[in-house]
Amino acid sequence: MKRAEAIYWSATAIVCAVMVFSAINFNLKNPVGPMKGAFAHLGFPDYFRIELTVAKALGVFALLMPAVPSKAREFAYAGFAITLISASIAHFSIGDPLLFVIDPLLFLGALIVSYVSFNKIRRHESDPHRFAERVGARGQELPSREPAASAVTAQ
């Protein structure tokens, strides 16, 4: 599972770094790179920049915080996927160069890798047949969460 975790954290770090960079860069007085005037260029209202910044920040927190429920993470994945696909469509529709159309799709690929790895790890953690995690450090089986057979028959 170490390999899946390494893939998950690498892909998730790439996606989150891009989302944080873009959210911060949207709000700078002098944005870095081609983002200067990008919202006006794409025909989006200025307030959309604020909505997108808040959504990206919440999504990054949902992916990086350990105690976030799986459903919230899945909403973050879905939101990021919609954002990246929409960005690609917006750049294509306005006639931007191919690089601007493909760029969001590359990060969509990293997002998909992160999501698949997340589900693989989650399936592994919920597998009841994992012996190594059920056995204590001294080779004794740890108590299960199910009621003991003697407690059930005693009732």
The string of pLDDT tens digits covering residues 66-115 is 899 999 999 999 999 999 999 999 999 999 999 999 999 999 999 999 99
* Residue 146: predicted pLDDT: 52
3-state secondary structure 27-77: CCCCCCHHHCCHHHHHCCCHHHHHHHHHHHHHHHHHHHCCCCCHHHHHHHH
**Shortest CA distance to 115 belongs to which of 152, 67, 79, 150?**
79
pLDDT of residue 29: 82
**pTM for the full model?**
0.76
Q: Per-residue pLDDT tens for 126-146?
A: 666 655 554 555 555 555 555
Question: What does the mean pLDDT of the chain come to?
Answer: 84
20: tokens are 């944080």
Q: What is the mean pLDDT of residues 12-38?
A: 87
At position 100, the amino acid (one-letter code) is F
pLDDT reported for residue 138: 53
